[in-house]
Structures are given as structure tokens and as C-alpha cells.
Amino acid sequence: MTLRGNIFISVLGVLFCLFVGVLSGFSSVPEQQRRTQSLDGKWSLSNSNGSLSLPAEVPGCVHSALQQQGFIQDPYFRFNDVSYRWIALDNWTYTTTFNVVAQARTKQKVLLAFEGVDTVASIWLNGVIVGNTDNMFRRYDFAVRHLLKDGDNVLKVSLLSPVLYASQRRDAHSAYRVPPECPPDVQKGECHVNFIRKEQSSFSWDWGPSFPTMGLWKGVRLEAFDVLQLIQVSSVPLYNFSLSQWRVQVELLVDAVQTTNGQITVSVPELGSEQTFRTQFLSGETKNTFILHINTSSQVKLWWPNRHGDQPFYQLTVRGFQDGFLILNTKSKVYFRTVELVQEPVVGSPGLSFYFRINGKPIFLKGSNWIPAHSFQDQISPAVLRNLLQSAVDANMNTLRVWGGGVYEQDLFYSICDELGIMIWQDFMFACAMYPTESDFIQTVREEVVQQVRRLKSHPSIIIWSGNNENEAALATDWFSIPASQRPLYVKDYVTLYVNNIREIVQDEDQSRPFLVSSPTNGAESEQEGWVAANPYDPHYGDTHFYSYIHDCWDWRAFPRTRFASEYGFQSWPSFSTLQPVSVKEDWSYDSNFTSHRQHHADGNQQMLLQAASHFNLPNSTDPLKRFTDTLYITQVMQAQCVKTQTEFYRRSQTEIIEGKGHTMGALYWQLNDIWQAPSWSSIEFGGKWKMLHYFAQNFFAAILPVGFEDEDTLFIYAVSDLSHDLKLRAVVTVYSWTDLDPVCSLKSDPLLVPGGSAVAIFKQPVADLLAGCGRCTRLTCLLTFHLEDSGGQQGPTNHHFLCSPKDAQGLQRPNITAKVQQDKTGLTVTLHSASVAAFVWLDVGDIPGRFSSNGFLMVSRNMTVSFTAWRQTSVAELSRSLTITSLTDVY
């Protein structure tokens, strides 16, 4: 977080920071000694030949301005991503005119500060160039005192087309190519994004459009001061395990006009800890570090991940004095927690473990991967961010990986994660490519890394830094057909960028959390192999990414028994209500131009149907619209069931080693959210609507989970527990016939000890024996539900296991479900009545924002009530009108 710019500034979201400029002779310094003037608001914007000229909001971007002023339609509408390609091929200039109060101009130093420029720009003040930018992930400031004048001052930011710039940089790099050069045609994107320090997915991705943005995406300010100003404060608690002692490393980033002596007092009053330091702020921008020892380490309340404990914080105060006069005074939050990435030998297995210990406790990481929530960052509201993160927590996640092809997220994102207990695996922004290493590229990356680590390191939610997404794998498994003779050159560039520069800076700036060079990686083993392992997907080491669209996803044997699954997933389509606003009637069929246009993953639409067809009948309605919406539904059913199977496999592999593999300690599926309305791997649609997968995640990430699967025709049930205490659990299996809502029979296993943080097999029986014992059942006529219980009753959700593909099930009928919407004092509810067993029962209320307590479920009871949490005002009438109910047999 950058504190520059306000007198009262929010630090980590809630508390405030007060900076007071230095002035001798007064015991406290009047506010007017430091002047901050925001230059945010309405600027004017024009293209290179002046044919377009319009007002533009700062922070903002060219696309948003053009849309807001009615020059273009919604860029997400139909094929507009391609129609509006011209925008990023042009150069654009932002201009503003402002006056500066006389007192500001008399200050010793006046800085023009840009929190974020997207991306390649020259900056002109009153006709004089003050500097250039080339990196959207950096803050820039320029000394401008000598250029300011009375009356109107004119500030111009001239932005170069990022597409043309990237291509020029590629041409200038003639010695060897830096692949992939261009994205696959199906992505309809732009080339050479790896040559520009900008959101890599803005040139298109396999789930996103090409909108190479340009603009001032963060704030612009003038800062005027006489002696010094505080730019940033960070605090990182460090724990000495052998002494059982906490200390807090506090860093002040200060810009001093001249060398200044002073005293700094750092305290955490609630822990009775305070220390005063003599210090010297050297002239220019410097970092001063202070270590506060915490006296009462045993009393420190710790920050815990979601569902493992609370997220308490303390107030940290820093005050600065010069000759007895207060020169700075800040308050911020400090959270205490430790994180260790454990890579050590595993009994009975070659390789090394790979898991996280938080506050000394091994924790299974459950969650997903985060991508940018919008192509135009200025259109992401705080409410949208909070809703997405709350949805992650509501699905029992404890971790998100901020993926390296997007952006370092805004401060609020991390503050919400701190508050909700979401652990963040933070990539640096490099993805799926080789990168150049010329000195100016390295220099701008170095500055980016320093700034981002300093901005973010106070957040307890961030538990690991990771150098890039999939670039070790790309090199190791030769994605880009690099001739063997040239490979050393690329390995050298890889090590230069991620190891010798990024890793070195991160380790220097932050000793409180681990650093990994890539994901996937073999971690310590990759290091042994010169940082690029022969096979970075080796399940015996580190993390893996695994995708297979050809294998039957119901067969767990297809999945690697990895130490840590940081990416895996399947695509689905969003619901009709999400697609409708960006499409027209002729688009609403699975083979329309629109449907193939929005699909950026080669063969993706076919892969979804093929995967679905292995277990479900595909929709065959003669009504084209119904056939389309049924197809959207069936892709969601397929995705939910596939990711469920894979996640359950990872969770049940937590404790075992089988054939030398196992001890899986993380499952982060690809991907949480969407950037636009299109098919993707996400579990939440653009706009926030939960797909069926997200409802399934609530269950498959539950703290206590029964997992059922077959091995060689024997049914196993595992009890998986994320709790800290032991339980004595038994499995209860209920057999139903597809034709009947009354159970055929029920079985109970003996109670077994399930230690906290483990997965234990508690039920095992050949399917043939189970069915024979149950009487009138075959694999085709019956299905199973099961749950766990102890003396206190059911623990965790009820799960199910199909004994055949639903398409082969005998007796599955149309359930003719009826629904009644009601409102009581707890809120809105929907009570369903079904005439028969119904699978994947899906309630949809169109574009009414909100979520059900449960959805996509198996209905083996006549009546069932779910609640609806609305995200805006709604009514029984509106909900009843909008509600549709679909189950598996309704689509054929």
C-alpha cells in the first residue's frame, strides 16, 4: 500500500496514517506544511490524429472512456473484442489542466506521482518532457517543482499503442526469438505480449478477450513538502522458533529533501511493546528498518486461515520526532502468523514433501486460482471484489492463487483476504512464455518487484511468492520447439530473470515467507537440477498442474497422485442469463458463430460435449433455445462432477503413500472467476453467479468430507478431516433405486478414529456383495448416498456415488419437480417437491443476483427446502417468476 497522497490514509484497509511534514520551532506541524493535490477526475483524451476527442475519467482507461462517452458499445457485446481492435493499435493522449496553490510551489520538493500508468508513455508538463514509463506494475514519480507556474499548468500523458510497442521491442531483439511470439489463432489476440510489462492476459488468453488496455489505471497526484515525506510503511512479524520470540520488522520508505536526523518510536501497545530508535533519513528515497521485539510472545494472538481459527490483528504505531517535534505518526494493522513450506524426505516415498505449515500446523490448502475480474480494471468495484472473495470463503476455500498472467491485485483485495482468512499464493506477473533479459527490461522488472513486495508484504494472507506461471514447465517440456543447441541460452535467461533477479530481490526484501521460482515446479529438486527440472510435473516433488480433456474424468486413476495440485480443471459454459446481455437471438445455439467466437481454447466446445457424453445423454430438444440452455446446463453438470471427482481424489490422498506417491496437501482448481461472459474453467460466472461447480465446491471443500470411490469393483469410503481434533466416525451408506424415493437398504461401518488433518479409509466392500446384501439392486438400477456420523449425529455433507453412468441408469424418470417460494423471518426459501429421484437438480433465477444455500443436488427425498441469499432487494413474486428448475432427465 502506498501512503503517499493523503493526510489521513487508510492502511491495510481500516486504520489511518498521519504524516506531518517537518518544521522546526513548532511542537506539532500544521497540515499545510505538506500539500497533496489529487489530479484524478475528468481529463481529456484524444487519439493520434485528433479525430476522436472526449472526456476521460482518471483512474481509467481508453476503452472505458470510449464506452462511457458513447463512442463504442459494450466491448463485451458479441464480437466487439475484434471490432474494437483498432483502439489499442492507435496512440492516445490524456491531458489535464490544473492550478497549483502558491504555497505548494514554495515547497522544497514537488513530485508528480503516478500510481499506475498503463503502460508505455511519455509525460509532459507545460510542454517539457518529465519522464517515460514502460511498466504498468510500477509507481512513478517525477520532480517537477521547476516546471510549475502560476495559473494553468498543462499535463499530458502520451500513450503508445502497447501492441505496436511490443512488436517494435520484438524487432529490436533480433538475435534470437522469444516465444511464443503470438497466441493461437483461436484466441484472436495480439502478439509479443512478453515484451511489455503489462497484464499478460490483456493480449488475449484461453479464457479471455484481447483488450490491450491503455490509460492511467491508478491515481495521479502532486506532492509538495519541505523536508521529508513518508511514502510507505510496512510491518512484517518474524518468529524465532528456537527462542519462541516474535519481533516486528518495520520499514519506512521515506523521501527526504536532505539528510535528516530523528528518533522513531515503534510500538504495539496491546502487547506492551515499545522501542525508540535514533535514525537518519538520507537524502532522496530511502528505506529505514526498525526491529521491535515483542516482550510477551506467548500472549500473541495468531492469524489463522479460514476455518482454522480467527484473524486477529494488533495496532502498530510509528511516531517520528526531530528535536522533540513530531514529524510522523502512523497507525497500521499488524497480524502475526508464521508460514513454512516443508520440503523434506517422506517415509516410503522417493522425492520430497511439499506442504505449508501455518503457525506450526500443517494445513491442506483448498481453493482455486484467481484471474483478473475484468478486462478494464477501473470497472472492478469494491463490492465485486468482496463478493467474489466472500464466495470463495462460502465455498469453504482457504486459499487463492493470484495467477501470473494477470495483475498484482489492488490493496483492497489483500485486505479482504487478511480479514477473511484467505491464504494467497502470489505469482509474479510472468506466464506461459519466455521473456527477454536486456538490461532495460531487467531494470524495470527489478523496480516492479521491489515496489510490489514492499507494498504487499504486510499482508498475512500472502503465504508465498512465486516467480512465474508455467515457464519452467514450458522450457523443460519444450512448448516452443527450441532447438537443443539454443536451449542453454533460454535456460540462462530463465535463471537470470527469476533466480538472479526476482528471487534475490524478494529474499532481500522479505524474510517472512517462502519463494518458489515457478509453478508447477519440483521446488528444491528443481534447484538441484539447475532451476529447470527434467520434469517439473513430477508428482514426487513440488506442485503440479494437470489437465486432460480426453480421459474420462470420473476415473480417478487418470489423475496424478501429486504432493500439491495447484491447477486442474474443466471448462463449462456460463448460464443463459449471463450470456443474454452480450448476445442476440441468432447466437443462441451451440454451433453459432458467437458460441465458437467466445471459445478461446481450441476444440473446447467439442471437448465439453465429449466429456459430458461419456456419462450423460446430450440435450436433444427440438426447441432450439431449450436445446441451447440445456447444453449450457449439461456442461456445468459435467464440469462440477469432474472437478468434484478430482478434488476428492486429492483430499483423500492426504495421508497415504501409494506406489511411492501421495501426501497430497493442496487442491487449487483452475479457476475461480471469469473476465467476461464466455466458456471457461471458472466456478463463478462473470457477474458473480455461481456455477454448479461452485455449489459442489461448498461440499467437496467441507471441513469433514466423506469420499466414495471404487477400486477394482470395491467401494471405499474415506473420511477426510481438516479439523484440529480427532473424531470417531462411521460411514452410513444408503442404497436407493433410481425408481423410488424410499431407500432400498442402509449399512453402517464400525466407528474408527479419524485424527484431525487426515484421510482415513473407514468403509470397504465389494460392490457385488453390497448389492447382493441389499436385495433387488443392480449397478444399473441403484445408486448410493453416504455420510459420516459420530455419537453427536451427522458430520459433514451427504455425498453420493453412482454405480453406472446416469445415461445408463434404469428407471430414472422425469421428476416433475414443483416449487414454492416463501419468505419468513430468516429470508427467502424455495421448497421443492419431487415425485421421484432427481439428479443434478438446478435452480436458476436468471439475472436476480444472489445464491442458493445448495444447488445442483441429488434429490432422494420428496421434499426439500433451500434458502436464497439475494444480493439486492427482491421479492417472493419476482423470485417465483424467474425460477426455473432443471434436472438431468429434463434435457432429453
Residue ranges in contact with ligand BMA by CB under 6 A: 205-207, 405, 431-432, 469-470, 545, 567, 670, 681
Cα torsion through 86, 75, 159, 221, rounded to 10: 170
Contacts of 715 (CB under 8 A, 6+ apart): 708, 709, 733, 763, 764, 765, 766, 767, 770, 784, 801
The secondary structure element, H or E, covering residue 578 is: helix 576-579
Q: Is 66 helix (H, G, I), strand (E, B) or coil?
A: helix
CB of 201 to ligand BMA, least distance (A): 8
Q: Which is nearer to ligand BMA, 564 or 576 (CB)?
A: 564
Q: Least distance (Å) from ligand BMA to the CB of residue 161?
A: 25
Residue closer to ligand BMA by CB (options 16, 549) is 549
Pick between residue 431 and residue 693 the one whose CB is nearest to ligand BMA: 431
2 class by beta-carbon count within 10 Å (0-12 exposed, 13-18 middle, 19+ buried): middle
User: Which of 228, 431 has the CB closer to ligand BMA?
Assistant: 431
Asked if 717 and 755 count as a contact pair (C-beta separation under 8 A), the reply is no
Cα–Cα distances (Å) from 125 to 113, 142, 153, 394, in that order, read 13, 10, 7, 49
Given a contact cutoff of 8 angstroms between Cβ atoms, the answer to whether 194 and 432 are in contact is no
Q: How far is the CB of 681 from ligand BMA (least distance, A)?
A: 6
Residue 854 amino acid letter:
S
Q: What's the rounded Cα separation, in Å, for the pair 316 and 330? A: 8
352 and 343 Cβ atoms separated by less than 8 Å? yes
Rounded Cα distance between 522 and 541, Å, is 5
By the 8 A CB rule, do 218 and 115 touch?
yes
| In the complex, minimum distance from the CB of residue 470 to ligand BMA, in angstroms, rounded to a whole number | 5
Query: Quick one: 119 or 682, whose CB is closer to ligand BMA?
Result: 682
CA atoms of 730 and 749, how far apart (whole Å) = 5
3-class SS at 4? coil
Q: Provide, rounded to whole angstroms, the least separation between the CB of residue 477 and ligand BMA.
A: 12
3-class secondary-structure state, position 56: strand
Q: What is the DSSP string of 471-536?
A: HHHHHHTTTT---GGGHHHHHHHHIIIIIIIIIHHHHHH--SS-EES-BSB-THHHHHTTTS-S-T
How far is C-alpha 481 from the geometric centre of its chain's CA atoms?
A: 31
Distance CA 570, CA 561 (A): 18
- For residues 510 and 567, which CB has a smaller minimum distance to ligand BMA in the complex? 567
Pairwise CA distance, residues 364 & 372, whole Å: 25
**CB-wise, 204 or 653, nearer to ligand BMA?**
204
Q: Which is nearer to ligand BMA, 60 or 520 (CB)?
A: 520
H/E element, 260: strand 260-268
For residue 30, the 8-state DSSP code is: -
Q: CB of 448: closest distance to ligand BMA in angstroms? A: 20
Least spacing, CB of residue 740 vs ligand BMA, in Å: 42
- What count of other Cβ atoms lies within 10 Å of the Cβ of residue 638? 28
Residue 500 grid coordinates: 538472479
Nearest distance, CB of residue 506 and ligand BMA, angstroms = 21
Residue 637's closest CA among 566, 547, 542, 571? Answer: 571
For residue 142, the minimal CB distance to ligand BMA (Å) is 36
Residue among 432 and 665 whose Cβ is closer to ligand BMA: 432
Among 205, 208, 607, residue whose Cα is nearest residue 432: 205
For residue 206, the minimal CB distance to ligand BMA (Å) is 5
Nearer to ligand BMA, 330 or 639 (CB): 639
Beta-bridge partners for 261: 280
How far apart are the C-alpha atoms of 516 and 599, rounded to whole Å? 32
Q: Any residues with CB less than 8 A from the CB of 415 and at least 6 apart, and which? A: 12, 13, 14, 459
Q: Which of 806, 720, 703 is nearest to 762 (CA)?
A: 720
Compute the least distance from the CB of residue 682 to ligand BMA, in Å: 10
Q: Which residue's CB is nearer to ligand BMA, number 567 or number 685?
A: 567
Q: Which is nearer to ligand BMA, 466 or 886 (CB)?
A: 466
Residues annotated as catalytic (active site), given as ranges: 470, 567
Give the shortest CB-370-to-ligand BMA separation in angstroms: 12
Smallest gap, in angstroms, from Cβ of residue 607 to ligand BMA?
11
What backbone torsions phi and psi does residue 616 show, to the nearest 5 degrees? -130, 150
* Cβ proximity to ligand BMA, 180 vs 849, nearer residue: 180
Q: What single string gives the DSSP state of each residue in 521-570?
A: B-THHHHHTTTS-S-TT-TTSSBEEE--SSS-TT-GGGS---S-EEEE--
Distance CA 482, CA 471 (A): 13
